[in-house]
A and B are shown apart, each in its own frame.
Chain A
Amino acid sequence: MLHDRGTESGMHAFPRSASAVRANERSRAAVRAALAGLVILTAAGLAGAQDRENCLYCHQFAGLSRFDSATDRVRLYYVDPSYVHALRGPHARLACTDCHVREEVSVVPHHETTPVDCTRQCHLVTPNGPERRFSHENIARMLAQSVHTSEALGKLEFTGGPLLDPGQSQCLFCHDEPVFRNSGLFGTIHNSNDRLFDRCDVCHTSQLPLDTRYALRHVTSRLQTARPTLELAQVCAVCHSDPRFLATHEVGNSVASYVRSFHGKAALLGQSDTANCLSCHIRARENVHLMLGPDNRASAVHVSNVADSCRTTDCHPGADPGFSAAAVHLDLTAASGTVEYLLAIAFIILTILSFGPSALIVLLELAQLVIGRYYHATEEIERVAEELMRHPDGHRRLQRFSPRYRIQHWILTVLFVLLCLTGFPLKFADSAWAEVAVRLCGGLTMARLIHHWAGVALVVGFIAHLGDIMLGIIRRAREHDGNGRPHGLVRAFWGMPFVITPTDARKAGELLGYLTGLRRTRPMFGRFTITEKFEYFGVAWGTSLLGLTGLMLWGEQLASHVFGGRLFNIALIIHTYEAFLAAIHVGILHIYNVVLNPAVFPMSMATLSGYTPATKLAEENGEFVLEVAQELGMLRPEAASE
């Protein structure tokens, strides 16, 4: 309808001289007759259409609008005709004049219109009986008892000025034209299965008249929430994410913090049935228009009720009451000083301290190549390594990774990639790629399923690996040293090739000294370099932490009885930060070491054959080469010590 509230004042601005009135009277009859014919023709053409007054004849055009420079607003007078033609919502059967005042809009140009009052009585036309009178007046009564009172809504201030025009219904803050949601049960609204309706129409014709298509759409739509979670977040964000609103009400951006929670991220990734704002803020069997503030004792989110709000049958029925201590609106920035905040800081420091030195070594290694600084002392060791490769025993001894460990590595690789592909979309849920990744996985439910079971496989694999290592330690403990005494478990452990020893730490310092030009000689490492040992330790540490926290988050109801609710915040922080650390370590540094490093490019064969190329072996594992050569008598002890 033409809601003109510009400088003109409706029809009173028109010339109303006697001659004009007479001319008007003369032409009116002819034009009305012509238009009446047109309306009849058009109405006949739109068989079945609900636009009884034929307003869409003009109002379907997108351009039927104007720009009001005084208010910098565009007055949109067009409506989506398919809403009416395809009966897309419960208002599709209303006449325009059920909401708009007939006397104001039955004249062209329309009179200055009164804003629509949603509590006004309308007349629903249904095929199953006479018109029904209907009004939203009861909703207005409910709102008066809620936190969203007319007075509260009337005081709202927004960034960029008011969102509604003066006098417009406050319902528009949350509602636009209601639509029936597509039903997953019976196909989409527009692609409904005809055979289904044929079955309904067997009875619902003349004796039990019912427009079965419309009724089914209505019912199947209302079997779901009126809006999917993301749309509801959009509705709430109008106020609860508006900077001016947040400033005047001195509250945090609750929509943004919700979106950082699991539920919010799931909504962003297309899971429409995850918990939405109303799931927590409205008590079961309560009308959404009766939402109360958190300070009200009857509110679903009042401290005395919030546990029950989490534990409804739809959500976490088996959870401990303490489960509600898990923060849905966890805003770490605002939570400075809390355990959660300190833990996040600790993880950032851990990331910098663990990733930083490794990255520094890689960058310095590359810098050597850029400036053309080569360590020529390795050429002799490279020659020895090549000689050993030709020796049957030497060849066997130089294999750094046995088939058992290579297989374990590849299993770990596959599981790690799966976990990253299915886990990181949730961390970066608002990125475009995240949605694509989840869709490729077959949806969030499938992605989570893959993530959970890949995690279980990783944990099981890790336990098996630990068992394998333990057996190795026990075997070694039983061996006798040079003095004929058994090693013992502790000595055996320290003797394992993966253990980081004080010598390794010293050599790491020497390596840094060499790479920065402070030392002339490059230290040599044994079977595994310090970076490899560090990566191995990282995998063990990361798998333990991620596995433990992952299991807690997965079995949240069971875990809540043991750990309470707040530990979920901590588990979530550990899980996400540790996963990020693992991903950047592997994605940047490990990929460099085994793929992009010029010494192994395009790929290190060590992961397939167990052998490292002689050049790289000499450069990084020189001590290991010399040790093998000495044991096989291919090197004089003095040369080795040199």
Chain B
Amino acid sequence: MSSAKPTPGRDSMLTRVGRFALRALRAAGAELIRRGYAAALMAVILYASWQSVSYLITQLMTPPRTPAQIAQLPRRVDEALLHGHRPDWTGLAAVENPRTPLAHFHRFDTWLQSDPRNDCTRSGCHAPLPHSERKEVRAFLNMHATSIQCGVCHVQSDATPLELTWYSVSDGRASEPPALLRAIAWLDTHPTPAAAPSWTADDQRTLLGLVGDAVRQSDDDPTLVRLAAHLDAFRAGSSGFADAVEEARIVVRRALRGAYGTKLALRGGADRPILGHPGTAGAIRDWLANGAAATGQQRENMLRAVHPRKRETPLDCGACHREQGSLIDFARLGYPETRRRELHEPAIFRMIEHISKGEPFHLPDIGVGPRP
């Protein structure tokens, strides 16, 4: 046992060496930090000084530039604008009543919601408003492009009704139905209380949450922003809040204009949305590189390789907009009863079918008073 006991002399030597090493390490570390700090400071001061002086010189030497708040407006509505968001235009955000592009007189409070997850448009092959051939229906079909992924009508699927899912245009993942639809469903199932107790704080929280989600999903639709502010401004049981709920019943329906932040797509494995033809990346690259020069059968083959699951004949309006045998199970997709009735309305799709046959449709003289 005694041999295991360390001798004081060797111990103190070791300790001294250890302490010395520790001190040296500490000193070296401190010195390193000191020098590093000084070097970082040098870099910062050098950068700030350079920036300051070069700012003065460039400010004097370069002609004045119109700031983005004034110049960055959509002057011409070309294709590039379709891929962006309204908030991208600094000039619009900077003013009280942002003006529209010059050739477009009418105000637009929102902008076509771009879908960066849709393979058909992000590949560079199709424009976000892809329908352009048949004058009779192209604008109506494009109207659907903001809420339905191309594959719903153009990709082969034998299921009846179609197996569909909502997906978020921001991340391309399966999502809940749009907040607007959920808000309508909530309002439809919550009639105005006839007597006290009126709306509760829970009601207010739920409705405000749904409208708030709809605001985000619609890229800040101003009417929804205003509605959310109204719903938030009143105490739940007050008459003011009751008025705001009645306002909500009108406003949320009017906001169904194609900016939902989510779209319908065919549902694939593991409930994932199908956002393009699977396994066609190489064919798409080939088409983009050589498609313009291809002719005849070669062109046909290339296009077939890009669209392996394409329907020979895309779905027409009547395939979905009908009550019996509709290919879309609107109820399962979260559409409330009132909205389903509107989408099943036969007059609209009959009109579309009518004009799609090349037969112009004359609007009836409804709602127009006599002229003086």
Contacts and interface: CB of A to CB of B under 8 A. Distances in A.
Nearest to A106: B363
Contacts of B73: 234
B53 A351 contact: yes
Nearest to B226: A190
A233 B98 CA distance: 12
Interface in A66-91: 66-69, 72-83, 85, 88-89
A257 B64 contact: yes
Contact of B95 (A13, A228, A344): A228
Interface stretch (B3-11, B43-51, B186-194, B319-327): B43-51
A638 interface: no
Interface stretch (A138-146, A363-371, A500-508, A521-529): A363-371
Contacts of A402: none
Interface residues of A, number: 132
Residue in A164, A332, A588 whose Cβ sees the most chain B Cβ within 10 Å? A588
Given A72-B78, A108-B360, A235-B99, A334 B63 contact: yes
Given A179-B97, A333-B61, A74 B77 contact: yes
A177 B100 contact: yes
Interface string B344-372: 01111011001101111111111111011
Nearest to B346: A34
B258 A66 contact: no
Contacts of A43: 366-367
A238 B127 contact: no
Interface in B99-149: 99-100, 102-113, 127-132, 135-136, 138-140, 142-147
A36 interface: yes
Given A179-B97, A370-B35, A63 B142 contact: yes
Interface in A115-174: 116, 123, 125, 130-131, 133, 158, 160-161, 163-165, 168, 172-173
Contact of B70 (A15, A35, A237, A589): A237
A14 B134 CA distance: 11
Contacts of A241: 66, 70-71
Contacts of B77: 73-74, 76
A345 interface: yes
A43 B365 CA distance: 13
Given A38-B347, A62-B111, A588-B45, A133 B79 contact: no
Contacts of A347: 56
Interface footprint category on B:
35 or more
A260 B70 CA distance: 13
A493 interface: no
Given A31-B361, A109-B360, A366-B41, A348 B71 contact: no
A186 to B, nearest CB: 16
Contacts of A369: 34-35, 38
Nearest to A60: B257
A592 B43 CA distance: 13
A35 B347 contact: yes
B65 interface: yes
A175 B64 CA distance: 26
A131 B372 contact: yes
Interface string B240-267: 0000000000000010011100000000
B183 to A, nearest CB: 17
Interface string B65-94: 111111101011111011000000001001
A27 interface: yes
Interface string B324-336: 0000000000000
Interface stretch (A2-10, A285-293, A309-317, A531-539): A2-10
B355 A109 contact: yes
A24 B142 contact: no
Given A53-B368, A81-B254, A372-B35, A176 B104 contact: yes
A39 B102 contact: no
A370 B42 CA distance: 9
Contacts of B2: none
A66 B139 contact: yes
A107 B364 CA distance: 9
Interface in A557-578: 577
B49 A28 contact: no
Nearest to B127: A67
Nearest to B65: A256
Contacts of A131: 371-372
Contacts of A32: 361-362, 364
Contacts of B98: 231
A63 B41 contact: no
B159 interface: no
A257 B359 CA distance: 56
B109 to A, nearest CB: 4
A233 B70 contact: yes
Contacts of A83: 106-107, 109
Contact of A108 (B35, B96, B146, B361): B361
A76 B368 contact: no
A39 B364 CA distance: 9
B67 A8 contact: no
Contacts of B105: 116, 172, 175-177
A140 B113 CA distance: 38
Given A60-B257, A241-B66, A73 B78 contact: yes
B66 A272 contact: no
Given A107-B363, A163-B102, A61 B64 contact: no
Given A62-B108, A366-B41, A163 B358 contact: no
Given A62-B257, A108-B351, A333-B63, A177 B107 contact: yes
A62 B42 contact: no
A584 B364 contact: no
Interface string A323-337: 000000001111000
B38 A598 contact: yes
Contact of B57 (A36, A168, A348, A588): A348
A432 to B, nearest CB: 9
B355 to A, nearest CB: 6
Contacts of A438: none
Nearest to B259: A62
Contact of B96 (A62, A106, A181, A588): A181
A172 B42 contact: no
Nearest to B74: A74
B109 A256 contact: no
B52 interface: yes
B295 interface: no
A617 interface: no
A414 interface: no
B12 interface: no
Nearest to A329: B64
A31 B350 contact: yes
A347 B368 CA distance: 69
Given A97-B368, A181-B97, A259-B66, A348 B359 contact: no
Given A38-B345, A172-B103, A588-B49, A85 B254 contact: yes
17 contacts: A4-B135, A31-B347, A32-B361, A38-B345, A62-B258, A67-B82, A79-B107, A133-B372, A160-B76, A182-B96, A234-B73, A348-B60, A356-B53, A363-B46, A370-B38, A588-B48, A592-B41
Interface of A: 2, 4, 6, 8, 11, 13-15, 20, 23-24, 27-28, 30-32, 34-40, 43, 52-54, 58, 60-69, 72-83, 85, 88-89, 95, 97, 106-109, 116, 123, 125, 130-131, 133, 158, 160-161, 163-165, 168, 172-173, 175-177, 179, 181-182, 190, 227-228, 230-231, 233-235, 237-238, 241, 252-253, 255-257, 259-260, 268, 272, 331-334, 341, 344-345, 347-348, 351-352, 355-356, 359, 362-363, 366-367, 369-370, 372, 429-430, 577, 580, 584, 587-589, 592, 596, 598
Q: Which 8 residue pairs spanning A and B have beta carbons closest together?
A: A430-B67, A34-B347, A369-B38, A256-B64, A79-B106, A63-B146, A63-B143, A241-B66
Given A60-B254, A62-B110, A332-B60, 10 more contacts: A23-B357, A38-B347, A62-B259, A79-B106, A88-B107, A108-B355, A109-B360, A355-B52, A362-B45, A580-B52
